[in-house]
Amino acid sequence: MADIQNIISIRNVTTEENTPSLSGFDLMDAPEISIIKLANIANEEYTSGLVLARKKIEQAIRMVRNDLMSALAANHVIPSLDAKKHSTGEFKPTITFAAEAKERGLTLYKNSKIRGALRKLKIHTIKLYPLADAADVQLKIYDDYAGGVVSTYNVNLTANQVNSFDVNYVIKGNFARVVADGTNIPVAGAYLTCFTGCNGTMPNDCGYTKGWYGDKEISGKEGFGINLEFSCECDYEQLMCDLSKTYIGELVWLKTRVLLLEEHLRTNRLNNWVIYGREETKDYLTDIENQYREKWKVFAGALQGIVSGMKDDCLVCDGIRWVTNV
């Protein structure tokens, strides 16, 4: 998946910084920006020009995201979706499973009726009910994204009680398998209640589960000592990535430049560039702020058509008149 932090790049700072830009925009393409100027502006808070640039890109992404959310909210495009947490099941301590050298747990599937790519399945908490103390146990999440991605958590378990681990893992694919190595861990039963019903009916509008034992999915409603708390949330940063080449990348690029110019005007550094470059910086700032506002007007004019064409549960369009608060 695309990383929103790479929506614009910082070219030729060091070899490790040459991460491709999602949008094609690079901070060093701005005529008022250079490595030397960044270094002259950066104070003790940032320690270097590179750190300053990175921080301002992060801030610009947050600000553009907020502007985007304001525009969507002003036009009633953000739907009122159920974001409540669901549980995959309930523990049954009277049912026990002995330790064995198999991976056991469950698979959490995204509801197939969810439209579009913005609504993401998120695992908030993994809960285990072991019947013996265990140290350094491997807990794994297998995500089916891009052929399979594995995230491993080493955890310590306390016997005969629920052990909760907050992972806040956003599933990138259509499902994720959550398992524990059962070699040294007897566990209590975990009855799966979040199952599909007759004719494939869904237990909620978010996801459903199936048990996993060893190397196969099982038909029984058993999670082998594992329960999950999960929800579905709209990922509007994904929308920003999707629009990076057309609108959002340039907006972040412009906003970053605004923030860097403002930093020049208020820095406590005293050097020739800071002191004698202020008037030039003020002129640049006025021009780039105007460019940012004009780009937003163009984006706002196109946004209704963009939203209408996406057909996503996280976006609704009722044909209303579009406005922007930027």
Does 297 share its domain with 193? no
Does 160 share its domain with 98? yes
What's the pLDDT score for residue 320? 43
What's the pLDDT score for residue 208? 92
At which of 210, 234, 258 does a domain end?
234
Does 139 share its domain with 264? no
Domain that holds residue 210: 86-234
Does 161 share its domain with 29? no
Does 40 share its domain with 125? no
What's the pLDDT score for residue 139? 96
What are the structure tokens assigned to 101, written together? 């050298």
Interatomic CA distance for residues 176 and 174, integer angstroms: 7
Answer whether residue 310 is part of any domain: no
Does 52 share its domain with 151? no
Does 118 share its domain with 251? no
Contacts of 103 (CB under 8 A, 6+ apart): 140, 179, 180, 181, 182, 212, 214
Answer whether residue 322 is part of any domain: no
Interatomic CA distance for residues 110 and 172, integer angstroms: 10
Does 91 share its domain with 211? yes
Q: What is the pLDDT along the chain (326 residues), one digit of tens a residue?
A: 568 889 999 986 555 556 789 999 999 999 999 888 888 888 888 888 899 999 999 999 999 999 998 888 887 787 665 578 999 999 999 999 999 999 999 999 998 888 888 999 999 999 999 999 999 999 999 999 877 889 999 999 999 999 999 999 999 999 999 999 988 899 999 999 987 654 456 777 889 999 999 999 998 899 999 999 999 988 889 999 999 999 999 999 999 999 999 988 887 777 777 677 788 889 999 999 999 999 999 998 888 888 888 888 888 765 444 455 55
Number of alpha carbons in the 13 Å side-chain half-sphere of residue 189: 11
Does 186 share its domain with 111? yes
Does 125 share its domain with 265? no
At which of 182, 210, 234 does a domain end?
234
Interatomic CA distance for residues 142 and 165, integer angstroms: 17
Answer whether residue 291 is part of any domain: yes
- Of the candidates 267, 283, 281, the one whose C-alpha atom is nearest the C-alpha of residue 41 is 267
Q: Convert 231-244 to b/e letters by CB count within 10 Å (16 or more is b).
A: bbbbbbbbbbbbbb
Does 283 share its domain with 155? no
Answer whether residue 326 is part of any domain: no
What's the pLDDT score for residue 156? 96
Does 137 share its domain with 217? yes
At which of 181, 209, 234 does a domain end?
234
What's the pLDDT score for residue 321? 47
What's the pLDDT score for residue 108? 96
**For residue 205, what are the CA distances in angstroms to 16, 38, 77, 208, 232?**
42, 49, 19, 9, 8
What's the pLDDT score for residue 271? 74
Number of domains in the chain: 2
